[in-house]
Structure 1
Amino acid sequence: MLKRTKSLTEQAADEIRTRIVRGDFQLGAPLSENTLASELGVSKTPIREALLQLKMEGLVSIQPQRGSFVFDMTSQQVVELGELRDTLEVAALRLAARRSGRQLVGVLAAIGVEMDRAVADEDGLRYRTLDADFHQAFFDHCGNSFFASCYQGFAFRVQALRARLSNKPGLNERSLGEHHRLIELLARDEVEAAEELLSRHVHATVAQYVASQDRTGDETAA
């Protein structure tokens, strides 16, 4: 049952968003207003309003005469999103390193320690939350509110896609190593090398997700 600290619409949006990002719903899965209303203990009105809000965030598709669905993306769309993410994150990293490099390194290092613990505990949910925090830090310290606003327009979709990969310990360990290497480069003020590493990191994630989509498609076809 939801508590009435925020509006019921906000609370419903928070809960549905969390479930989508966490991977509780399959991409493209239908979202029943009746079921969600029953599970969250509210009427259908705040659920309907929450779904409209999540549509604006790119997490929900509302199709006339059909209903609401978790967003889905083709392999090509994932590649295009990766290109946007690469361009924006690298630029944000460059600005953050220039404007508040020492503070950025401190924040990333603290997150890195927690990521180590999450991997050691095999806590995929905790790891991907910290992973999102790590990349968000570039925008928090870049000193450009428009960059941050643009990133928020697709950040939740990135997290949702990440959730479909981070249940694989081997990938988390590889990702963790790249995060620590990025911190080391920034600490030595090797910003250009850090930018190159970040770009490779983003595109590797895209490639891994596309490959996982292709395997799923093969299995479904079989």
Structure 2
Amino acid sequence: MTNVKELPGELTAEEVEEGRRLFAGECDFFYGAQSLEQLPEIGRAEIAFAGRSNVGKSSIINALTNRRALARASSEPGRTKQLNFFNLAGRLTLVDMPGYGFAKAAKAVKEDWQRTMFAYLRGRPTLERVVLLIDGRIGLKKSDREVCELLNKAAVVFQIVLTKCDYLSEAALRARVEEAQAVVAAHAAAYPHVLPTSSTTGLGIPDLRAMMARFAEPASPRQ
């Protein structure tokens, strides 16, 4: 299995510990928005999670926050059409975006998703980064590449995070990372390092927490 510490941009032990402390705090759902008009007021920095339906988004969010059912997967891919906002320790807001790429959805539904999400991405000043989840077993599909283009056009920094990497051999994982790095290199808005993860084994979870902790408000003296 690829050691994420071999990747460029190695995190310090202090950053990893800060990420652990941040995600050890309370994390609660506080708002759901089905349209741009329903978005909550501007507040803390936001990090959004995006990915195709069934990419493992709910599992990653639950693994990060040490919860079993903070984010729930829909039994019907593409059914959820809501931006869900979570308050992490009063220091950072996590945003669970609706999944994309669902095959059964009508073309008009997909286009509506793209318009709404683009407007959110482009117009939300507190949005610091999008964590773009890619199924490590499958690699980037056409819909993933289209979202990369959308994020690049919106000038929103995004980081590709590979999910379900425990299913891959070391050689296969390295090939997936290289494939994703090539996509990253072609987009100015992409964060330069691809992160392999597994919500089952915990691979990459401490690193992802540490990255996100960089955007959190300072902890109060009592925390």
TM-score tier (shorter) = under 0.3
TM-score by length of 2: 0.24
More strand by share: 2
- Indicate the structure (1 or 2) with the bigger Cα radius of gyration: 1
